[in-house]
Chains A and B, each alone.
Chain A
Amino acid sequence: MQVGDESALEVLYGRYGGLIFTLALRIVGDPELAREVLQDTFLRCWDGRDAYDSARGRVPGWLMGIARNRAIDLLRSRPHQARLREREPPVGLASEPVQPDAADSIMLRRAVVSALRGLPIAQRQAIELAYYGGHTQVEIARELGEPLGTIKSRTRQAMELLRDVLWPLIEPRREA
Chain B
Amino acid sequence: MHPTENLAAYALGALEGPEGISVETHVATCATCGSLVEQYRAVVSTLPMGLDPVAPPPEAWAAIRAEARRRRSPVREWAGTGMRPRWRRAMWPVLTTLVASLLVWNVMLQRELTRRAPGPAPGPEVEALSRRPGRIVILQGTGKPGASARIFVAVDGGGHLAVSGLASLPPDRTYQLWFVRSGAFPVSGATFRADGYGRAWAKVTVPPSLDDVRSIVVTEEPAQGSGAPTGTHLLEATAWR
Please list the residues of chain A having a beta carbon within 8 angstroms of any beta carbon in chain B.
2-6, 9-10, 13, 17-23, 25-26, 31, 34-35, 38-39, 42-44, 46-48, 50-51, 53, 56, 58, 60-66, 68-70, 72-73, 76, 93, 95-99, 108-109, 112-113, 115-116, 127, 130-131, 134-138, 140, 149, 152-153, 155-156, 158-160, 162-163, 166-167, 170-171, 174
Minimum C-beta distance from B94 to chain A (A): 24
Main secondary structure of the interface of A (DSSP, over half): helix
Minimum C-beta distance from B160 to chain A (A): 23
Interface 1/0 per residue, B166-209 and A, CB below 8 Å: 00000010000000101101100000000000000000000000
Minimum C-beta distance from B237 to chain A (A): 12
Cα–Cα, bound, A66→B48 (Å) = 13
Chain B: interface residue count, which band?
35 or more
Known pairs A6-B72, A10-B65; list 7 more (Cβ under 8 Å): A21-B56, A61-B41, A109-B49, A131-B12, A155-B14, A156-B4, A170-B43
Point out the residue from B5, B12, B60 that lies within 8 Å of A153, measured CB to CB.
B5
Show 20 residue pairs from A and B whose CB-CB distance is below 8 angstroms, ordered by the A residue.
Answer: A17-B61, A18-B53, A20-B56, A21-B56, A22-B52, A26-B51, A38-B56, A42-B68, A43-B67, A51-B217, A51-B229, A64-B44, A95-B54, A109-B49, A112-B47, A136-B9, A156-B4, A156-B5, A156-B9, A166-B42
Does B50 contact A112, Cβ atoms closer than 8 Å? yes
Cα–Cα, bound, A131→B52 (Å) = 16
Point out the residue from A3, A96, A97, A134 that lies within 8 Å of B79, measured CB to CB.
A3
Does A22 contact B60, Cβ atoms closer than 8 Å? no
Does A4 contact B77, Cβ atoms closer than 8 Å? yes
Verify if B39 is at the interface (C-beta below 8 Å from A): yes
**Residues of chain A within 8 A of B12, CB atoms compared:** 127, 130-131, 155, 159
